[in-house]
């Protein structure tokens, strides 16, 4: 194998003042924060597709990244060389997790049976690599959107043969994920949505998607896969209207089909922004409804309307969502998958390292700010005080009636006075925790 990353040494923690761009400034994996190590809290993952498969194309130009494994004529050689390089990258970054789509790790064959054999071969090689590497599989997922057979969707395709092909592909991928010790299984809606409603029977497509998800949940239990099934919401792209629009939309869909206990959410920062929400909105919504699963950590560009999938580098944007998570249960069996790609001009191996190091540092820096925020306690106090009176007025949530309330307002002459929402005070308070 050609080690594409040979010129780069293992990345070490050197602290905030280092001038070494290939060292961590905040991400000190073994440092204890809020009773656990930074590494165990953040559960960061490298994504295979953007980091090892993506060639740097855009709508106006093709490949800009010349990775050695991309040149091989033989597809299996390409897959194995890519895998060796991926593990070299994981080890040098000392990353605890990675994520993949089935087609990222191995090419498709000429038919389903051929594809299955190729997958098996590469999955076995990955399984061997996992024995000697620290990295583990955070989640696997099936790509049900790139091949032309899926141009009109997978589960929601008008052609039932495509529904079946997709179902068989998911069976294979969830079993491979299970075999590799994967901790979750993700379903992102791909092309489950529509380009034009002119050719679309929405009710029929919803029922198909509901059925598809039930089949996946049933199979998970059958094979004894203990990880979470996660749905990743996104409002549009590639289709004009994606059915899994946002967290609330997915939750409603799951409830309609009786699946709300079977699936949780994989929330992506950039998708939240495309839905005209904020990342903290999506996280707060998921936590409030007990459907939080995992995170695709990246960032968008507020000036453009597509999924730019940039590496996170903005602590302000992550602080509140991280606070919601880490003041309670943390990420659980989820993690922070860097579903992010470097820009197409960043063509060198070290660019991949700068990107991941920056993202890991940003997440660690945010976690450290969350610790300060929790220890300080004034933010929590503020929230508690704001809702405090509800602890006295308990009967409002249970025993009273509209009539009873009316009588009370009259007899007690209730005359409520507005109170400041203190937004600017809170904004300043939060900023003070970032160091
Ligand atoms: C695309 C999605 C995709 C999923 C995995 O926008 O983010 O990368 O995370 O299929
Ligand atoms: Ni994603
Ligand atoms: Ni995305």
For the record, the structure tokens of 231 come out as 């749905």
Ligand 1, atom nearest to 296 Cα: 9
Q: Do 310 and 301 form a contact (C-beta atoms < 8 A)?
A: yes
Q: Which of 296, 297, 308 for a ligand 1 pocket mutation test, highest count of atoms within 8 Å of Cβ?
A: 296
Residue nearest to atom 6 of ligand 1 (CA): 307
Give the distance, in angstroms, between the CA of residue 132 and the centroid of all CA atoms in the same chain. Answer: 26
Q: Do 247 and 203 form a contact (C-beta atoms < 8 A)?
A: no
pLDDT at res. 305? 86
Residue nearest to atom 5 of ligand 1 (CA): 188
Q: Which of 268, 334, 336 for a ligand 1 pocket mutation test, highest count of atoms within 8 Å of Cβ?
A: 268
Residue nearest to atom 10 of ligand 1 (CA): 188
Q: Do 46 and 95 form a contact (C-beta atoms < 8 A)?
A: yes
pLDDT at res. 93? 98
Q: How far apart are the first and last CA of the chain?
A: 42
Q: Do 193 and 156 form a contact (C-beta atoms < 8 A)?
A: yes
pLDDT at res. 394? 78
From the list 200, 207, 217, 204, the residue with the least C-alpha distance to 256 is: 207
Nearest-angstrom CA–CA distance, 271 and 354: 23
Distance 130 CA to ligand 3 centre (A): 27
Distance 132 CA to ligand 2 centre (A): 28
Ligand 1, atom nearest to 145 Cα: 10
Nearest-angstrom CA–CA distance, 192 and 157: 8
Distance 102 CA to ligand 2 centre (A): 15
Q: Which of 104, 140, 188 for a ligand 1 pocket mutation test, highest count of atoms within 8 Å of Cβ?
A: 188
Cis peptide before 238 (omega within 30 of 0): yes
pLDDT at res. 419? 95
For 237-277, write each residue's pLDDT tens digit.
999 999 999 999 999 999 999 999 999 999 999 999 999 99
Residue nearest to atom 2 of ligand 1 (CA): 188
3-state secondary structure the chain: CCCCCCCCCCCCECCCCCCCCCCECCCCCCCEECCEEHHHHHCEEEEHHHHHHCCCCECCECCCCCCHHHHCCCHHHHHHHHHHHHHHHHHHHCCCEEEEEHHHHCCCCCCHHHHHHHHHHHHHHHHHHHHHCCCEEEEEECCCCCCHHHCCCCCCCCCHHHHHHHHHHHHHHHHHHHHCCCCEEEEECCCCEECCHHHCCHHHHHHHHHHHHHHHHHHHHHHCCCCEEEEECCCCCCCCEECCCCHHHHHHHHHHCCCCCCEEEEEEHHHHHHCCCCHHHHHHHHHHCCCEEEEECCECCCCCCCCCCECCCCHHHHHHHHHHHHCCCCCCCCCEEECCCCCCCCCCHHHHHHHHHHHHHHHHHHHHHHHHHHHHCHHHHHHHHHHHHHHCCHHHHCCCCHHHHHHHHHHCCCCCCCCCCCHHHHHHHHHCCCC
Nearest-angstrom CA–CA distance, 340 and 309: 5
Distance 291 CA to ligand 3 centre (A): 19
Distance 270 CA to ligand 3 centre (A): 6
Ligand 1, atom nearest to 143 Cα: 10
From the list 148, 253, 239, the residue with the least C-alpha distance to 192 is: 239
Ligand 1, atom nearest to 49 Cα: 8
Residue nearest to atom 7 of ligand 1 (CA): 339
Q: Which of 339, 340, 341 for a ligand 1 pocket mutation test, highest count of atoms within 8 Å of Cβ?
A: 339
Nearest-angstrom CA–CA distance, 384 and 264: 28
Q: Do 286 and 247 form a contact (C-beta atoms < 8 A)?
A: yes
pLDDT at res. 371? 98
Ligand 1, atom nearest to 307 Cα: 6
pLDDT at res. 395? 85
Residue nearest to atom 8 of ligand 1 (CA): 339
Nearest-angstrom CA–CA distance, 166 and 210: 14
Distance 131 CA to ligand 3 centre (A): 30
Distance 270 CA to ligand 2 centre (A): 9
Q: Do 138 and 99 form a contact (C-beta atoms < 8 A)?
A: yes
Going by their DSSP bridges, the two strands 36-37 and 32-33 should be labelled as: antiparallel
Length of the chain in terms of residues written: 435
Q: Which residues of the chain have pLDDT under 50?
A: none
Q: Do 206 and 253 form a contact (C-beta atoms < 8 A)?
A: yes
> What is this structure's pTM?
0.97
| Residue 31 burial class via C-beta count within 10 angstroms: exposed 0-12, middle 13-18, buried 19 and up | middle
Ligand 1: residues with CB < 6 A are 101, 141, 186, 188, 232, 234, 268, 296, 307, 339
Burial 94-112 (b: 16+ CB within 10 A, else e): bbbbbbbbbbbbbbbeeee
Ligand 1, atom nearest to 337 Cα: 9
List the catalytic residues: 101, 104
């Amino acid at each position: 194998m050609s080690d594409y990353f040979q010129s780069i040494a293992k990345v070490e923690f050197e602290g905030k003042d280092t001038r070494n761009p290939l060292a961590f400034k905040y991400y000190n994996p073994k440092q204890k924060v809020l009773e656990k190590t930074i590494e165990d809290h953040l559960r960061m993952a490298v994504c295979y597709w953007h980091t090892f498969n993506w060639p740097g194309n855009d709508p106006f130009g093709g490949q800009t990244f010349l990775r050695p494994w991309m040149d091989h004529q033989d597809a299996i050689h390409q897959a194995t060389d890519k895998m060796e390089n991926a593990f070299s990258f994981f080890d040098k970054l000392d990353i605890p997790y990675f994520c993949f789509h089935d087609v990222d790790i191995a090419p498709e064959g000429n038919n389903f049976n051929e594809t299955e054999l190729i997958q098996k071969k590469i999955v076995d090689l990955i399984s061997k690599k996992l024995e000697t590497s620290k990295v583990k599989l955070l989640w696997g997922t099936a790509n049900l959107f790139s091949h032309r057979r899926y141009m009109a969707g997978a589960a929601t395709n008008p052609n039932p043969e495509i529904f079946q092909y997709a179902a068989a592909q998911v069976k294979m991928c969830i079993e491979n994920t299970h075999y590799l010790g994967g901790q979750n299984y993700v379903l992102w809606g791909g092309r489950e949505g529509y380009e034009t409603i002119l050719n679309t029977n929405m009710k029929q497509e919803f029922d198909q998607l509901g059925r598809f998800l039930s089949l996946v949940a049933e199979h998970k239990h059958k094979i004894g896969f203990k990880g979470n099934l996660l749905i990743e919401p996104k409002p549009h792209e590639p289709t004009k209207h994606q059915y899994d629009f946002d967290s609330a939309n997915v939750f409603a869909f799951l409830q309609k089909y009786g699946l709300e206990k079977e699936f949780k959410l994989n929330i992506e920062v950039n998708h939240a922004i495309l839905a005209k929400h904020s990342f903290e909105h999506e996280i707060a919504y998921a936590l409030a409804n007990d459907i939080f699963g995992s995170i695709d950590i990246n960032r968008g560009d507020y000036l453009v309307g597509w999924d730019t999938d940039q590496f996170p580098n903005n602590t302000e944007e992550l602080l509140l969502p991280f606070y919601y998570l880490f003041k309670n249960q943390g990420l659980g069996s989820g993690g922070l998958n860097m579903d992010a790609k470097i820009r197409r001009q960043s063509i060198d191996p070290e660019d991949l390292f700068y990107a991941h190091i920056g993202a890991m540092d940003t997440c660690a820096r945010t976690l450290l700010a969350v610790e300060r925020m929790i220890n300080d306690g004034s933010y929590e106090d503020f929230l508690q005080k704001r809702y405090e009176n509800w602890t006295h007025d308990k009967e409002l949530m249970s025993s009273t009636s509209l009539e009873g309330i009316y009588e009370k307002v009259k007899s007690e002459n209730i005359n409520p006075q507005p109170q400041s929402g203190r937004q600017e005070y809170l904004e300043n308070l939060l900023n003070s925790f970032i160091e």
